[in-house]
Structure 1
């Protein structure tokens, strides 16, 4: 568990909004190579790590995505501040007051800032509370002396520069993990720890298995290509959604029965449930009504596979997220049980 927490901290510290994932992909690529794995970066920029198993005729794929929510420079305002466009599905209100970093493409500089409402000063504006949190009103206040659009342009900032959010990763004494981008860096950390354990303990999997770290999930088409032809089962390890009418919590593994794309494979879902009951892993079955995964994207791309989705329960998804070590442990236990089980 300590290794997984370490990887969560390391991964959340690397900025990776969708479209700007090269740094984190290269980091994970080097990590697995250091452990002795052969890996391949796909044309789309994802990372595939293959572990040969006893049976090389039927393959498994497990995915976790390394891309996160973020923003991009939409325009430079007359006063030097930045208008932004969102990357991924989240509300403007969820980033108000957040520290951020502008990744300047022209000169590779990193310029810090804060995301604020234009009408942020209660001593000046009478609509601080009522003004809509939207693209017109939310802006980036840069931590540099800039009083005009020309001043900001001199810094090298242009339309299209990526903006990442301060993750503020905290592990509490009570076992909670608070951070932005736990979706889906918790799952990526779990898969990394599995890979490390397999190599260190010289374990042999029953089937050749591919660990696919995708980089476009937040915009809907992550790990939907470069899937080996022998793949029979496909597991997306991704966050469990919490909220009203949900069974998912922060202390168990959440197995998704259905999301916005439709039901997941009945037999594979039942196989996961059986593994939880056999191994005494605390789990919840749930429906995620406003959700899609790498697995559902693969199905829509036309893959002939059995697909399933499970992961740690994440509170306040696509905002300042939180989970508990118990949920991470349960998810890791199910990943491990699945990898060493027979096909569904």
Structure 2
């Protein structure tokens, strides 16, 4: 089947621009729910906020595939005397990469303010440690784009402890096929799931098994896939493929993960995915991720009696300014489509 590049790239750009740090994902899920229903599929949202999209199949023994729509972010830890915001991390962003980044502050009463994330020593003309200060939660703050001179001014805006701070993703898709943005982990994989759903819908394809396409919302904090529908017998996670030292994956490949920090994935499922990639002449790599976990890892730890495996497009500079390529997306879509077929 023909890969719908236009649909996939337009969707990934749209969802990357919807702020959705873990715990603040309703807007993204509402958008994806409407899109799935537009494609003709039955949907539901769990108590936790995960989106479940049901696709009928010839065999009622169910499979599951999942990707996560939640991202890294920050939260207001406290308001400083000079009107700047102290922060706490949501998930594990690399704090060095946030120095100078724009952001949005979401209040509990629906207001949105813009700001900039900076170190506590932001000027080379003033601070001797401007270039050497370690960037972490204690040495970084948010400068709000409002006239605030003290804590009381900030509180009058409606900003309080516990408000979410969403980081600007800086989305760009280049003519040469690169997708550059924060949070390709894992919104690029969400777009891959929807690319497959679009092909199933447009071709009226009947899958081999009933399949749940799941979009989770707490993966970055470790419990996105803790609950899954009880009739699922095997779960395939689609999450970013790692690139770097001792890894074979590139930005042009679909990665098949044999083992991560939670242990090895199911031997039969992983072998089947490798066979599909070989048969279809896909750009692929098989790798080990020593500092990585997935929604499938969480599902397995939560006593679900399932097989589990993991694939995803190669993403460079994860948890920072990430980049992948359309070739990795297309190979991932083809591998996932052949798996569910």
What residue number does 2:197 align with? 195
What residue number does 2:177 align with? 175
Q: What SS class does the counterpart of residue 137 from structure 2 fall into? A: coil
Structure 2 matches for 1:78-93, cutoff 5 A? 78-93=81-96
Q: Which runs of 5+ in 1 are unaligned?
A: none
What residue number does 1:29 align with? 33
Q: Is 2:299 aligned against 1:295?
A: no
Of the structure 1 ranges 85-94 and 294-303, higher mean CA displacement relative to structure 2 is found in 85-94
What residue number does 1:46 align with? 50
CA distance in 2 between counterparts of 1:269 and 1:10 reads 31
- Residues 180-234 of structure 1 show CA distances to partners (whole Å, capped at 9, x for unaligned) of 1100001101111211221221110010000000000000110220x22221210
What residue number does 1:325 align with? 326
Give TM-score, length-normalised by structure 2.
0.97
CA distance in 2 between counterparts of 1:244 and 1:97 reads 28
**Contact 2:73 2:93 (8 Å CA) reproduced:** no
CA distance in 2 between counterparts of 1:24 and 1:315 reads 24
1:254 Cα deviation from its structure 2 partner: 0.4
CA distance in 1 between counterparts of 2:282 and 2:132 reads 46
Of the structure 1 ranges 126-135 and 268-277, higher mean CA displacement relative to structure 2 is found in 126-135
CA distance in 2 between counterparts of 1:159 and 1:152 reads 11
Q: What SS class does the counterpart of residue 183 from structure 1 fall into? A: helix
Q: Is 2:161 aligned against 1:127?
A: no
CA distance in 2 between counterparts of 1:5 and 1:71 reads 27
Q: What SS class does the counterpart of residue 281 from structure 1 fall into? A: coil
**Contact 2:296 2:310 (8 Å CA) reproduced:** yes
Structural RMSD (CA)? 0.9
- Residues 80-100 of structure 1 show CA distances to partners (whole Å, capped at 9, x for unaligned) of 000000000222112111100
What residue number does 2:119 align with? 117
CA distance in 2 between counterparts of 1:95 and 1:105 reads 24
1:305 Cα deviation from its structure 2 partner: 0.8
CA distance in 2 between counterparts of 1:329 and 1:193 reads 9
1:78 Cα deviation from its structure 2 partner: 0.5
Structure 2 matches for 1:241-280, cutoff 5 A? 241-280=242-281
CA distance in 1 between counterparts of 2:193 and 2:308 reads 17
Give TM-score, length-normalised by structure 1.
0.96
CA distance in 2 between counterparts of 1:188 and 1:95 reads 24
Q: What SS class does the counterpart of residue 290 from structure 1 fall into? A: coil
1:320 Cα deviation from its structure 2 partner: 0.8
CA distance in 2 between counterparts of 1:229 and 1:88 reads 28
What residue number does 2:210 align with? 208
1:34 Cα deviation from its structure 2 partner: 2.1
Q: Is 2:6 aligned against 1:2?
A: yes
What residue number does 1:156 align with? 158
What residue number does 1:75 align with? 78
Q: Which runs of 5+ in 2 are unaligned?
A: none
1:136 Cα deviation from its structure 2 partner: 2.0
- Residues 60-116 of structure 1 show CA distances to partners (whole Å, capped at 9, x for unaligned) of 10000000000100000010000000000222112111100001113x111000000
What residue number does 2:141 align with? 139
What residue number does 1:18 align with? 22
1:35 Cα deviation from its structure 2 partner: 2.2
CA distance in 1 between counterparts of 2:231 and 2:52 reads 15
What residue number does 1:234 align with? 235
CA distance in 1 between counterparts of 2:187 and 2:137 reads 27
Q: What SS class does the counterpart of residue 241 from structure 1 fall into? A: coil
**Contact 2:103 2:116 (8 Å CA) reproduced:** yes
Q: What SS class does the counterpart of residue 153 from structure 1 fall into? A: helix
